[in-house]
Amino acid sequence: MRMPALGSITRRDAAVASFAALAGVSVAVSRSVVGTQGAPLWAELVAQLVGASLLLWPRLTGPAVVGTALLSWVSPVPATILASFDAGERLSRRQGAVWVTAGALVILPAAPLAFARSDVAMVTVLVLLVLGPWLAGRSRRAERVASAALRDRSAQAAEHLVAQVRTTERERLAREMHDVVAHRVSYVVLQSNLLETKVADPQVREDVDRIRDTAREALEEMRGMLHLLGRDGTPAPLDQPSFRDVAILAEEARSVGQPVEVDADVVPGEPPGLTERTAVRIVREALTNAVRHAPGAETAVRVAEEDGALRVAVVNGPSAIPEVEMPTGGHGLQGIRERVALVGGTTTIGPTPDGGFRVDALLPRRQA
C-alpha cells in the first residue's frame, strides 16, 4: 500500500525546520547543563529533532501542531511555536482553530513532565506558546490576502484606464479620418456638380450624376466604418500637415468654384509642431464646411502670428449658389473645438451678421 505524498519540501520549510532544530538542540543542551531536564539528554535531543522535522512538509501543518505539543512532554520544543504560526498562516480559520485547540490541550501535561512543576503560570505560558503564534499567523494570512486583493484591484484599474485610453484614441482617429477622407470625397461631389453645369450631353450628365451618387454613398459607408472604429478598432498613424498645405487646400476649394483668398505669412516647422498641425486641420475643416454650406461664397483664410500666439481664421460670406446636399456626420466643428482645447487655445465659431460664417481660433505656440 502506497503512502500518500506529503508534498515537496521548499527552501523556506527547510530553513524553518533547520532553525527549529538548532534552537531545540540549544534548549536541550542548556537544560542538561543547568540540571533542569525532565528526561535524559538523548531523549530530549530526539524530541527536538523529530519536532523540527515535522515542519518540513506543508501538508503536515495541522498534525505538526499536535505532534510538537506532544513532544513537549519530553522537552520544550521550539518547533511548537513555528508549527502554530504555520497553522495560522496556511490553514483556514476553522481548520487552524481545531488543530491549535487540540495542541493547546495536548501541551497542558507538559508542565509537570518537562518542567517538574505545574503551577498556573507555567501552564498559561505553554498554552500561549500555541495560541499566540497561531493568532500571529492568522494576521499574516489576512495581510497577504489583503495585499493580493489590492494588487488585483490595481491591475483591474490599470486595465480599465488602458481601455479608456484606447477608446479615446479610436474616437480621435475616427474624427481625423472623417476630416481627411470626407474633405476629399466632398470635393468629388462638388466637382461633379460643377461639371454638370458645363456640359449639355445627356450621357455625360448621367455619368456625372453616377459619380456624384457614388461619392455620396462612399461618404455614408465611410461614416459607418468610422462609427465602428470609434468603438472597436486599432489606431493607425496620422498625417503630419504643415503650413505648406494651406495653399493646396485653398486651390482645391477654388477648383470647385469657391473663391478663396489666403493670407498665411508663417514659416513651416521641420517637423511641423502640434500648433501648426492643429492650425492646418482647422483650415481644412473650415474650408470643407464653407464649400458644403456656402458654395461660391467669398472665403478668406488668415493664418498669422499674434502676440506670441497663432491666429487662424476662415470666414465666408453668404452662399452665392444653391447648396449641394451632401451627407454630414456633424463632427467637423466639434472636432475643431476639441483640437483647440487640447492645445490650450480658444475658439469663436458661428454665423456672421451678413449671413456668412466664421471659424476663428487662437492657438498658443507650442512644439510637439
3-state secondary structure of 306: strand
d(CA 7, CA 139): 25
DSSP state letter for 337: H
* 333: number of Cβ within 10 Å: 16
> Which pLDDT score, from 0 to 100, does residue 224 have?
61
Helix, strand, coil percentages for the chain (3-state, nearest 5):
65, 10, 25
Burial class (CB in 10 A: 0-12, 13-18, 19+), 233: middle
To 5 degrees, how large is the angle CA 285–CA 256–CA 219? 55
User: What is the pLDDT tens value at each position of the chain, 368 positions in all?
Assistant: 344 445 567 787 788 778 878 877 787 788 777 776 667 888 878 877 887 777 777 777 778 777 777 777 777 777 777 877 887 778 777 887 788 777 777 777 765 655 555 555 656 666 777 777 778 878 887 888 788 777 777 777 777 777 777 777 766 666 666 666 666 666 676 677 667 667 777 777 777 777 766 776 666 666 666 665 555 444 444 457 788 889 989 998 888 888 999 998 888 887 778 788 889 989 988 998 888 888 888 999 999 988 888 999 999 998 766 555 544 545 678 778 877 876 778 999 999 998 899 999 999 875 44
In order, the DSSP letters of 91-137 are S-HHHHHHHHHHHHHHHTTHHHHHHS---HHHHHHHHHHHHHHHHHH
d(CA 269, CA 359): 23
- Listed by start position, the domains of the chain span 11-149, 241-368
C-alpha distances out from residue 187 to 81, 159, 287, 313, Å: 84, 42, 11, 21
> Which pLDDT score, from 0 to 100, does residue 113 have?
57
> Which pLDDT score, from 0 to 100, does residue 126 have?
67
Query: Which CATH superfamily, name and number, covers 241-368?
Result: Histidine kinase-like ATPase, C-terminal domain (3.30.565.10)
> Which pLDDT score, from 0 to 100, does residue 234 have?
46
The answer to whether the beta carbons of residues 305 and 321 sit under 8 Å apart is no
pTM score of the predicted model: 0.41
